[in-house]
């Protein structure tokens, strides 16, 4: 049986706006937490990303958040990344207009002058990353003295990215009584410390999720020589319908994408889909883990291992070592075919 937002105590105008967007029934995390938030209790919610947490804390905030003075918001939502900050703002903004609640997103990488102007014009709920929030607090352009509602979203991600110390710094500077809402995919470790320190008798809610992903995976570790990594990766890719390769650098990604080993260059096997990507993590509050993904195809079946033969080494900078049978076009040819370098090889 589904639960409507009216049954949870959400205001009629907000329910009507949600119904116009095709949202008529509450998700489990919303059904569990909204009544407690409206009742003024601290709430600790465990739910994975995409479970509806934004409306779970956003709807009550739009309904009970008091008006703020310029530069002194009454509600603050702390999120780990600029992308999530803008997502939360954009999700709540149409509903906020109905209630006359002013919302802005504050994050690094955006002109700070524009953010200062928005704060001076008056903001009731500010959605921000911890680093930029601290910058504005230290400059005196943002005050948390009047904050009555604190939301910590994606607390586990902030812990992974090293953002909990600045989050705690902000929480310690919130004066007076306030309601603290925390949402996270996990509630152990550093997140549990956050709950015990900054929440008072929180109502704990957990949305059941499928079994842990790691139990549905098979992990294998292969020890190979540095010069054989490309061959082994190609063998795995060609024996899989889909594959994703993570590399340490963009150069390695391009090399993997554009210069497959010789054994991958000729075969009648149907095309396999290969995704090569680099993953970089910034500790700045204004950036998130970004994965730049590029697709290419490897249209060959990996050849069986070549019989033992003398090792040959390319004289060019590519440093490839291979047997004559796989590196040369013929028994009498001594041209390296790796990366199309066209250098001669030697034993």
Q: CATH code at 51?
A: 3.40.50.300
Which pLDDT belongs to residue 313? 46
Query: Is 212 inside any structural domain?
Result: no
What's the confidence (pLDDT) of residue 268?
A: 40
Q: Which two tokens stand for residue 299?
A: 């249209």
The strands making up 290-298's β-sheet, listed across from edge to edge, are 242-247, 272-280, 290-298
**Is the domain of 190 the same as that of 245?**
no
Do the domain assignments include residue 213? no
Q: Please give, one letter per residue, the 3-state secondary structure of 312-344.
A: EEECCCCCCEEEHHHHCCCCCCCECCHHHCCCE
Q: Pick from 272, 287, 305: which residue ends a domain?
A: 305
* pLDDT computed for residue 340 by the predictor: 44
Helix, strand, coil percentages, rounded to 5, for the chain: 40, 20, 40
Strands (E), the chain: 43-46, 75-78, 103-106, 125-128, 149-152, 179-184, 203-206, 242-247, 272-280, 290-298, 311-314, 321-323, 345-346
Residue 30 sits in the same domain as residue 54: yes
Q: Where among 206, 239, 268 does a domain terminate?
A: 206
Question: Which residue bears the tokens 């008091």?
Answer: 66
186/37 same-domain check: yes
Residue 341 and residue 273 share a domain: no
Whether residue 334 sits in one domain with residue 228: no
Q: What is the pLDDT of residue 214?
A: 59
In a domain, residue 180? The reply is yes
Say if CB 116 and CB 141 are below 8 A apart.
yes
As for how many domains the chain has, the answer is 3
Kindly give the parts of the chain with pLDDT less than 50.
263-274, 278-303, 308-335, 337-347
Residues 298 and 322 in one domain: no
Does the residue 250 lie in any domain? Answer: yes
Instruction: Report pLDDT for 209.
Output: 65
Q: Note whether residue 211 is domain-resident.
A: no
Helix runs in 39-110, H state only? 53-64, 82-99
Q: Are residues 170 and 190 in the same domain?
A: yes
Same domain, 313 and 297: no
Q: Within this chain, do residues 201 and 250 fall inside the same structural domain, yes or no?
A: no
Q: Which two tokens stand for residue 311?
A: 């090792």
Q: Are residues 301 and 319 in the same domain?
A: no
Whether 261 is covered by a domain: the verdict is yes
To 5 degrees, how large is the angle CA 277–CA 306–CA 300?
A: 40
Q: Is residue 57 part of a domain?
A: yes
The C-alpha atoms of residue 118 and residue 8 are separated, in whole angstroms, by: 33
Domain with 326, as residue range(s), is 306-347
Q: Strands, E, within 136-269: which ranges?
A: 149-152, 179-184, 203-206, 242-247
Check if the beta carbon of residue 291 is closer than 8 Å to that of residue 277.
Answer: yes
Question: What per-residue confidence (pLDDT) applies to 241?
Answer: 82
Angle at which helices 12-20 and 53-64 cross, to 10°? 140
pLDDT at 329: 41
Out of 154, 171, 206, a domain closes at 206
192 with 295, same domain: the answer is no
Same domain as 276, residue 231: yes
Domain annotation covers residue 214: no
């Amino acid at each position: 049986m589904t639960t409507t937002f009216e049954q949870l105590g959400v205001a009629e105008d907000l329910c009507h706006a949600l119904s116009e967007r095709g949202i008529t029934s509450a998700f489990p995390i919303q059904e569990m937490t909204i009544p407690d938030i409206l009742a003024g209790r601290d709430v600790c919610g465990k739910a994975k990303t995409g479970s509806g947490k934004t409306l779970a804390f956003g709807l009550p905030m739009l309904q009970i958040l008091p008006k703020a003075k310029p530069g002194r918001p009454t509600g603050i939502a702390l999120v780990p990344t600029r992308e999530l900050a803008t997502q939360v703002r954009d999700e709540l903004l149409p509903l906020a207009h109905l209630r006359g609640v002013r919302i802005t997103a504050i994050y690094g990488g955006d002109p700070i002058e524009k953010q200062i102007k928005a704060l001076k014009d008056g903001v009731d709920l500010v959605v921000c990353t911890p680093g930029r929030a601290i910058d504005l607090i230290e400059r005196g352009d943002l005050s948390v003295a009047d904050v009555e509602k604190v939301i910590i979203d994606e607390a586990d991600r902030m812990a992974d990215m090293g953002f909990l110390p600045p989050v705690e710094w902000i929480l310690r500077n919130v004066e007076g009584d306030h309601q603290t809402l925390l949402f996270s995919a996990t509630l152990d470790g550093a997140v549990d410390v956050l709950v015990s320190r900054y929440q008072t008798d929180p109502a704990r809610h957990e949305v059941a999720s499928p079994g842990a992903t790691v139990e549905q995976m098979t992990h294998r570790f292969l020890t190979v020589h540095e010069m054989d990594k490309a061959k082994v990766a190609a063998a795995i890719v060609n024996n899989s319908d889909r594959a994703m390769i993570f590399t340490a650098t963009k150069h390695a990604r391009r090399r993997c994408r554009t210069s497959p080993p010789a054994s991958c260059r000729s075969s009648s096997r149907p095309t396999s889909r290969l995704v090569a990507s680099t993953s970089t993590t910034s500790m700045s509050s204004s950036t998130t883990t970004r994965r730049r993904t590029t697709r290419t195809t490897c249209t060959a079946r990996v050849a069986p291992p070549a019989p033992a033969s003398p090792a040959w080494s390319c004289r060019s900078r590519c440093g490839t070592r291979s047997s004559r049978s796989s590196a040369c076009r013929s028994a009498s040819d001594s041209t390296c075919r790796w990366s199309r370098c066209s250098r001669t090889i030697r034993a």
